[in-house]
Every structure is written in structure tokens, then in C-alpha cells.
Structure 1
């Protein structure tokens, strides 16, 4: 009887642990979806610093009535140009009555330029005012859309965070040892050097002239994150790891402002000020493009994080006497006690080996983040972009000299629009005599419509043809998703929820298998898919509500596929399988998904591997279902179902054979659990 009671109590305890673990994953997933989508779904000017000089202009007044500009008056054109050169302004307008000048600053924000230029030119046209566009600080060919700054943040932020987490795990949870700060600062220098070498000299994302000026910036950013994370771990123990992920990545990452901080919602811009990510982005951007002007505030914020972290580590590791009162819920740790294994020579050697192994894992992960995300996204350029044509025109061959198109001829405009309805082309040129109409599809790609418009307008001008540009969308983009970003954003928490749910089950049960593991993961997938769907569709209005019910099973399928893949690898390899899942899904799958830019804008390697990995198929299924009524999703759905079916069959076989890897808690598990980030903040 006693044994039965103990067994029942043990069963209830296991259920509580599993419920808590999956509930924690659901909370992290929901919070990440809420933060990421709400911060970046609607990037429009909000109180954007903009300079004016000369006579009061009705053009500026007309634009300011529709666009959120914070106007600052300058005494003369030279003063306003100097301010733009220092990165203080996103643009400026010089009015002299007869011919005005619009000054744009692409290096400050490429997307701000794409918002401001058409608004000012349209207003000037309506008012009959002649305007010349002048560019200050143009972006280089290695960074045509200004993505490098935010892409650099990814390895630096993750590197600092992982270094703190893995060293903490390797040192058996002693986050405040006196040598901890020195190890993390030392690793930060190594990680900064690796990132600088890979992104600059290796990939060429920025000029080699910036190597030495960026290196101390990278070192400071990584050190600030690592030391602050270690300080939180010293104060609250294991929960510090989760707290760091929540603060620095899930809440602090989305408002980093890589596309321009004044495009973010005001509340997110204000929240971002207090976290390292936004200061890091501003520091890198101004060192890279504005001669290191106006970097005092980012430096102060990052140094404060670093110094605060070091002070806390010092307090808990040296200054605070043993037994002076540990934080509530956290036992005292006396690192000098004779019972401490690290106090013996053999223990010190084992600790050193464990720490070096942890830092090695961290270095590999940081290198992969730097290499994969930068190489996939720093310079999007179309290759064989599917495009339709009706009739013949000299504009098309002229445009093809500057953009790679895969052209399909259609008999009439209706046939071309049918191809657009079915997501088979990104646009079409309808030609009739000297009249040409370029039709672009904004729901296919955020960058293709602009790219096509620019190339075809140049071609029309060169050939003396008349060109009109029109937008066409089978299902119009949601009002709060004007750039078609939401599906790419919501994909990240779905992927993370999949592998984290399997990992947490392994962590709380001590096993990577179990009779009810598949059912538990499937149940979690159903609930998490519903939660993400509710948040993005109804709370954030990220896509039409008419698509809610069809989106729920798709979200569920994405989560359960990733969870099943993780469960197999964990069952075979233990925690190493979780790390491998992260590498496959987040470090190779996510960069190769194509995202909002579209698959044709990926380099060849990433285009070729994407079809074989879940994220590309997950994105296409999600995106095409919402905006193209499910057209073009057959292959994606089939691939995901094959993944699910094969995974289920393999799990059954492994269960029958009782194949089970050992499941220790080690640095690899921490690495996998500690990477809740996807694309660029």
C-alpha cells in the first residue's frame, strides 16, 4: 500500500513537473511572439528626426501631416547637411522657392529612405514643386539594404549570453567565482575577433578599413552582455539564466532597431533604450557609417552594463564574506571550502577542461551565427526572379541587364494576374505599343517591388518608354503588416517552441524518451499553435482574421515537426541531439527560409539547401496560405508531413528497441536551451 501511495505521489509529481516545464516553454514562446511581432510588424516613421532649412515649404507641411516627423530647423543648407553627415537626421529638406532639395541618409535607415522619398516626391508633384533628391552617406554594395548592423548584433548578443550560461553550467552553477569576470572578458575578445574576421575579411560585409575600429565595439558589446548575464546568475542562481534570456533577447532584442529606431513603435523605442541591444546597434551603425560620431550614449549604457555585472560578480565572489546572506531560495556557495571539488588540483583541472569545452562550444555557435546569418542576408540580390511578361517591349531586356529575371510569357494581363494569384511570379510587365505597365506583388516580397520598380524605371528612361507602376495583391496585406513581415516573424517562436518543448521534457524527466512523450509534444503543439495564432491574428492584427482557423493547424504542424526532429536526435544523442537540432533548424534552416525577402534573394547555397529543411517549407506554407489562398503550398506541406511521418516511425522503432542515450545535464543542453533567437532583432 505504501509503495502504491509512493508511486502515485511520484506520478503526480512527474505530471506537475511536465506541466510546469511545458507551461514555461509556452510562456516564453508567447512572450517572444508578442514582442517580436509587435515591435517589427509596422515599421513606419514615428517622431523621426528630420531637418529643414530655408523658406517654410508646403511640401514639408503636406508630408508631416501624414508621416511622423520631428522637424528641426537649421540656419543654412551647410548646417543641415553636416547634421545628416553626423547621423543626427534621417533626412532633410532644403527649400529655396524655385528648386528644393530632399536629402536622404540611407546609412541611417534604408527603410526610412523608402518611406520618405515617395512621400516627398508625391507631395511635390501635387503642389507643382520641383525637387532634387540628394543622398548623404549612401550604403555600400556590400550592404545595400542596411542589414549588416543588425546581423552583426546576432553573434555578439548570442556569444555574450552563451558564454555566461555555459561557463556557469561548466563551473557547476558557481556564477560568482572571482575568476569569472576575467574569463568572460577574455572570451568576449576572442568572440569579437572571430566575428570581425568572419563578417569583414571573410564575407566582406563591411570594408576591411573598419576592422580595427569595430573590434573594440564588438568586444564591449559581448563583454557587457556576458558580464551582466553572469551578474544576474550570481544574484538569483539558475533562474538568472532564464531571466537573462527574457530580458536581453526576448524583450530587449526586438527593439534593437536595426532598421532604424525611429521606425519602431514609440513604446518599444523607449523600452529598447534600457537594454544593450539598441545601444549596440547604434554604436555599430555610427562607427561603421558616421565616423564614430554621437556614440557617447551607447558607450555609457554598454559600459554601465559591463561594470554593473563585474561589480555584482566581485561582490558575490570576493567582497561579500561567506555566510553573509545568500539570496532567497539560493544556497550559500563557499568556493574555498575543503569539500569543494575545485579546491583540489584534480578538481581544478576538471573545472578548467569543462570551462574550455564550454567556451569552445560557445565559439563554434558564435562563428556559425556570424557566418550563416551574414552570408545569407547581408546583400540580398535577385537570381532568376520569377517574372511575367505580356507583349514585347525594349524595357524588359534593358531591365534584365541589372536584375536577374526568369521570364514567362503570358497571352494577356488576366493570365499574368492568375500567375500572381497562384504565387508563381513576383511581378509582370504588360506592354502595348509605347505604353508599359509594371505590376508588382507586395505580398510576395518586401524588397522585390522596390527592386523591380527601380530597375524598370531606369530601363524605361534609358529606352525612352513610358512606364506606370501598379501594385497587385490577391489578398491585400494586413493594415498592420504593410511589408509582409509577420509570417517570417511569427515563424521564429514556432520553431523555438518546437525544440524547447522536447528539450524541457528531457530535462525534467531525465530521459529523452517515454511512452507518452509523443502525445505530450503533440498536445503542446496544438496549444502553442493556438496561442501564437491568437496573439498574432487577433491581438496584433498581423494577418486577416479570416485566416485564423486555417493558420492554427499550420502553426501546430510546424511546432510538432520540429519537436519530433528534436526528440529523435535527443533519443539517439542525448543533449547533444538538442544542440544538433538548434544547428539544423536555427543556424541552417532559418537563414535558408527566404523570409520576407523571398527565396530568389538568397545566395545559391542557401537557396539549394532550403527545400530540404523544415523552416523554408514552414514559411511557404504559412505565408502562401494567408496571402495566396494556399496556392503553391503542395510541396511544402508534403515535405513537412514526410518529416512528421518519418519522425513518428523512427520514434516507434527506437521505443521498441529501447534505444536511449544517456541524459546528463551539461553544456550542450544549456546551449540548446539558451538560443531563443532567430533572425535579426
Structure 2
């Protein structure tokens, strides 16, 4: 009886470990989805600092009654312009005289400008008040939508975090060794230099004149994250790395405010104030575009994190051990005397190898995400035309269009319904109507409107703007960002489930491995669908049931691919999965802006990787009734079928050795990768 009970107890313990591991993944995945989507799904002005000068204006009153502006009065036009020039305001309105002046500050927030400028111009037109637009601190041509700041944050956060994790692992869990702070600060300088070289001099995301001013900023950000992570490891052990991932990346990343801090929900903005990512974004943005003005607060926050981390590391690494040694100086300690000396050479080699891996990952994040997204520009944007107009050839001088002729407006709208074109120009005599599709792309409607308005002026024509979409964007997703935000936790949940299942069982294979991952995918897809659809109202509720299997399919594909790579390569398979799915797959997905806005390399590799196919399947199913999803669905099903067959064959035929990795370490390594701020 005892012999029979022992295997049964062992099986129960193994099952409990598996359930706990997958439950941990599900919790992390749900938390990431909740944070990402709730912070960024509805980017509108909220208590946004806005300057006014001159007599009270009905234009300002009309806009302020409908838009979340925090109005601040200034004594003169020069005073309010200087405040905008220092980065203190998102815009300003100068009233009085023959005409008014609207001041916009695109470097503060490109998306805030796209909200404020149309609102003020429309109100001024309705009230019969002439107004001119003055731009203060325009964005660089290499950063036309202000994406560079948030893209720089990603490698700096990941670099600092991974440095602490990998050095901790290389040192065999000794988190507070006396040399830890010096090593991390030294790596932070190397990582900052690499990021600066890649993003600035290599890719040209900002001018070379900003290389030296940004270098100490990058160094400080990476140091603050790395030292804080090491301090938490010293305080709570391996769980400290997971805690840092949750605080700094899962919770701290979404409210970083790369698109504009005052576009975030107020509670997220307040959370972000006390965490490094938002301070890092403010620091980088103000050094890059505002000459380093108004950076005292972010500097203080980041220095406090770095100083606190150094103090904790110093206490646990030097002061406390020294006091313990002094107390034991007069006592006999045979066990300590007999302890073998540490293998310093081996430790140094391990540290260098760990930091080398970290540097490679940081370089890949800086290179891939920056090169894919820093300067979105349409290439062969699918576009429909009805009739003929001189406006079209004039517009094509400034925007690359792949034009398809349609016999009438109904045919063009049918093409839009089927997700085949991003917009259309309908011309009849001297009448021109530009149809834009906000549910197809967040950037294309604005891009098309600006280019065709310029073309109309150049040709002496008039163009009326019409918004059209088969399924309008959800009220809480006005920019069509939700599907791109959903994709990140789905991808991460896929490889985390396989990684922690490997950690729980101690092996990268098992008889029921495929079934366990498939079951997790079903539950995971349901949880993400419930959170985004019903809790956050990120897309129409009648799409709930069709979205669930799509979410589960994405998770299952990534999980199966990760399981195969882990079976063949061991724990290194997780790293390879991250590289394929996150470092190459996610940037090539196209996201909310759309595939035509990707550079050629990223456009070309995307069709062969799951993230783009997953995004298209999600997005087109929700907003285009499944049109244009055949190729994406087929690709994902082929991935799933082939991966499942290979995984089952490997599990049945290939002998498996134990994998020396624990669940906490695997979770800490897996959670943050891809949680883009």
C-alpha cells in the first residue's frame, strides 16, 4: 500500500506544480493585458496644461468645455511662447487683434496636437474667428510622429532589468556581492553607449548633436533599473527579479507616457510618477527636444532609485558581512575556515558571458524596434479611386499609393468593407470626396487628409473629408490600438506557458505536454478576451465569441513553437523564441498603423511569422467581419498543425534529460520581454 501511495503522492505534487506554474503565467498575462490596454486604449487630453493669453476667447471656452484642458493664464504672447518652448505646455492660444494664434507643440506630444489643432480650428470656424497656427519645437523629420522617445525607453529598461537578472544567475544567486553595484553601473554605461550608437549614429533616429547629451540620460535610466532590481533580489531573493518586472515593466511601462503623459488616464499618470519609466521618458524627451529644460524632477526620481539600490546592495554586500565577520572574529568557526575559496575566474567568465547576452539583447531591441517604427512612411498604400481628378497625381508626389480604379463609390466602399484599401478618392466634376478608414489604420487617415488637402490647394480644388468604416471603432478604442496591445500578452503568455511548464516538470517534454499547452491556450484566450472585451470594452461585445478562439490560437502557436525549441535547445529555446516572436515578429506585425507603414525589411518578413498573422486575424475579424483573414488564418493553422506534430513526435521518440531551471527564474526572465511601453 505504501509503495502504491508514494507514486500517487508524487503525481499529485507534480500536477500541483504544473497548475501553479500555468496559473502564474495566466496571472502575469492577465495583469499585463489589463495594464497595457487600460492605460493606452483611450488617449485623450486629461487636465492637459494649456496656456492662454489676451482677452477671454469664446474659442477657448468652446474647446475647453469638451476637452480636458488645464488652462493657465500668461501676461503676454512672448511669455506663453517661452513656456511652450520650455516644454511646460502642450499648446497655447493667443487671442485679440485681427486674428488669434494657436500654438502647437508637436515635440511634447504628436497625438495631443492631432487632438487639439482640429478642435480649435473647428471652433474658430464656427465662431467666425480667424486663427493662424504657430508651431513651436517641431518634430524632426526622422521622428515625424514622436515615437523615438518611447522606442528608446524599451532597450534601456530591458537592458537594466536583464543585466540584474543575468548577473544574479551567473553569481549563483548571490544578489548582494560587494562588486555587484560597480558591475551593473559599468554595464549600464556600456548599454547606454550601445543604444546611443545604434539609435543615433546608426539608424539616425535623432541628430548626432544629441549623442553626448543623451548618453548620461541613458546611463542613468539603465543604472536606476539595474540597481533597483539587484536591491530587490538582495531583499527577497529570486522573487525580487519578478517583482521588478511587474513594477517597472508590466505596471510601470504602460503609464510611461511616450505619446504624452497627459493623454493617459489620471490614475495611470499618478502611478507613473513614482516609477522610473515615466521619469525616463520625460528626461529623454526634454533633452532631445527642449534643450534639457524642466528635468529636475525626473533626475531626482531616477537618482533616488539608483542611490537606494546602491545603498541596499552595499548593506547586504559589504556592511552586514563585515559586521558578521567582526562578531565572529574571536570565535572559532571551523566550518567557515574549511569552506573552499570561491572560483573567481569562473565567476568572472560567467559574469562576462551573462553581460554579453544582455548586451546582444539590448542591441536587438534598440535596432529592431527603432528601425521598424521610428519614422513610419507609407509605401504602396492600397487606395481606391472613382473618376478622375488632378488632386490624385498631385497627392502622389508626397505619398506612395497603390491605386485601384473603381466604377463607383459603392464599389470602393465594398473594397473598404473587405479590408482591401485604406481609403478612396471619389471625384465627380469639380467635387472631390476623400474617404478615410479610421478602423484600418491610426495613421493613414491623418496622413491622407494632410497630403490630399495640400494637393487640393496646389491644384485649386476642394476636397471634402468623409470617415467610413464597416464596424466603427469602439468608443474606448478611438485610435484602433487595442488589437496591437492585446497581441503582446498573447505572445508572452505563449512562450511563458511552455517555459514555466518546463520549469515545473524539470523537463522540456512530456507525454501530455501538447495537451497541457493546448488547454492553457483555451483558458488564456478566454481570460484575455474577457478582460479586453467586457471589462475594458476595447472592442464590440458581439465580437466576443469569435475573438476567443483567435486569442487561443495565437497563444497555442507560440507555446508549441517554444516547446519545440526548448526540446531541441533546452532553456536556450526560450531565448530563441523571444528573438523570433518578439524581436522580429512583433515589430513586423504592422500594428495599428498598418503594414504599408513598415520599412521594406519588416514588410517582407512579417507574413512568415505568427505575430503579423495573429494581428491581422484579430483586427480584421473585429472590424472587417473576417474579410482578408484567409492567409493569416491558414498560416497560423499550418504553424499549429506542424508544431503539434513535431512536438508529439519529439516527446515520444527523443529521450529527455532534466532541465536545471526553476519556475521563479523562468518567470522573471519571461514576463517583461515584449511589454512595450
Given the two structures, how large is their TM-score scaled by the length of structure 2?
0.97
Pair 1:49 & 2:49 matched:
yes
CA distance in 2, matches of 1:27, 1:302: 29
Deviation, structure 1 residue 366: 0.2
Aligned partners of 1:602 and 1:106: how far apart in 2? Answer: 22
Mapped pair 1:494 → 2:493: no
2:557 aligned to 554, 561, 567, which one?
561
Tell me the equivalent position of 1:241.
241
What CA distance in whole angstroms lies between the structure 2 residues aligned with 1:237 and 1:593? 37
Residues 134-153 of structure 1 mapped to structure 2, 5 A cutoff:
134-153=134-153
Q: SS in structure 2 opposite 1:96?
A: coil
Q: Does structure 2 conserve the Cα–Cα contact (< 8 Å) formed by 1:512 and 1:571?
A: yes
1:488-515 alpha-carbon deviations (Å, 9 max, x no partner): 0011000000000000011111100000
| 1:652 Cα deviation after fit | 2.1
2:614 pairs with 1:612: no
Equivalents in 2 of 1:202, 1:552: separation in Å? 42
Distance 1:667 1:322, change over 3 A: farther
Distance in 1, Cα, partners of 2:607 & 2:124: 46
SS state at 1:362 partner: helix
Do the aligned partners of residues 231 and 309 (structure 1) sit closer, same or farther apart at CA in structure 2, a change above 3 Å counting?
same
Equivalent residue number for residue 445 of structure 1: 441
| Whole-angstrom CA distance in 2 between matches of 1:421 and 1:145 | 28
Q: Using a 3 Å threshold, how does the CA distance of structure 1 residues 415 and 338 change in structure 2: closer, same or farther?
A: farther
**Which residue is equivalent to 1:265?**
265
The aligned residue for residue 476 of structure 1 is 472
For residues 300-339 of structure 1, what are the structure 2 equivalents within 5 Å?
Answer: 300-321=300-321, 337=336
**Which position in structure 2 is the counterpart of 1:648?**
644
Q: In the alignment, which residue of structure 1 is the partner of 2:344?
A: 348
Structure 1 pair 654–57 and aligned structure 2 pair: CA distance change class (3 A): same
8 Å CA contact retained: 2:496, 2:671: no
Q: CA deviation at 1:671?
A: 9.5
Structure 1 contact 224–305 (Cα < 8 Å) conserved:
yes
Deviations 1:553-609 (A, max 9, x none): 000000000000000000000011110000000000000000001000000000000
Describe the superposition over 1:465-490 as per-residue Cα deviations: whole angstroms up to 9, x where unpaired. 01101100100000000000000001
2:619 equivalent to 1:626: no
Within 2, Cα distance between the matches of 1:277 and 1:168?
Answer: 22
Q: Which residue of 2 aligns with 1:327?
A: none
Q: Distance in 1 between matches of 2:339 and 2:189?
A: 30
The corresponding residue for 2:298 is: 298
Aligned pairs (5 A) from 1:181-220: 181-220=181-220
TM-superposed deviation, 1:677 = 3.9
Q: Which moved more, 1:153-162 or 1:646-655?
A: 646-655
| TM-score between both structures, scaled by the size of structure 1 | 0.96
* CA distance in 2 between partners of 1:661 and 1:638 (Å): 35
Supply the distance in 1 between the matched residues of 2:308 and 2:191 (Cα, whole angstroms): 21
Deviation at 1:25, TM superposition (A): 0.5
SS in 2 for 1:259: coil
- Residue aligning to 2:328: none
Residue in 2 aligned with 1:128?
Answer: 128
Which residue of the other structure, out of 426, 430, 451, is the alignment partner of 2:426? 430
Name the CA shift for 1:137/1:337 in 2 (closer, same or farther; >3 Å).
farther
Match of 1:329 in 2: none
- Whole-angstrom CA distance in 1 between matches of 2:282 and 2:524: 34
Are residues 73 and 524 of structure 1, via their aligned partners in 2, closer, same or farther at CA, if it must alter by over 3 Å? same
2:523 to 524, 527, 536: 527
**Distance (whole Å) between structure 1 residues aligned to residue 435 and residue 490 of structure 2:** 33
The corresponding residue for 2:117 is 117
Residue matched to 1:90: 90
Residue 354 of structure 1: how far off its partner (Å): 1.0
Q: Compared with structure 1, are the counterparts of its residues 631 and 617 closer, same or farther at alpha carbon in structure 2 (3 Å cutoff)?
A: same
1:444-465 CA-partner distances (Å, limit 9, x unpaired): 0000000000000000000000
Runs of 4+ in 1 over 6 A off after TM superposition: 666-669
- 1:262 & 1:407 partners in 2: Cα distance? 38
State yes or no: 1:36 paired with 2:33: no
Which residues in structure 2 correspond to 1:247-258 (within 5 Å)?
247-258=247-258
Partner Cα distance (1:568, 1:273) in 2:
42
1:328 maps to which residue? none
Q: After TM superposition, give the deviation of residue 673 of structure 1 in Å.
A: 2.6
* CA spacing shift, 1:395–1:338, aligned 2, 3 Å: farther
CA distance in structure 2 between the aligned counterparts of 1:255 and 1:522, rounded to whole angstroms: 33
* CA pair 351-409 structure 1, distance change in 2 beyond 3 A: same
TM-superposed CA distance for 1:660, in Å, is 3.5
Matched, 1:384 2:380: yes
- 1:101 aligns to what? 101
Counterpart secondary structure, 1:15: helix
- Alignment match of 1:399 (pick from 395, 415, 418): 395
CA distance in 2, matches of 1:514, 1:490: 30
**Number of paired residues?**
669
In structure 1, the partner of 2:329 is: none
Query: What is the deviation of 1:248?
Result: 0.6
In structure 1, distance between residues paired with 2:24 and 2:112: 37
Q: Distance in 2 between matches of 1:668 and 1:54?
A: 60
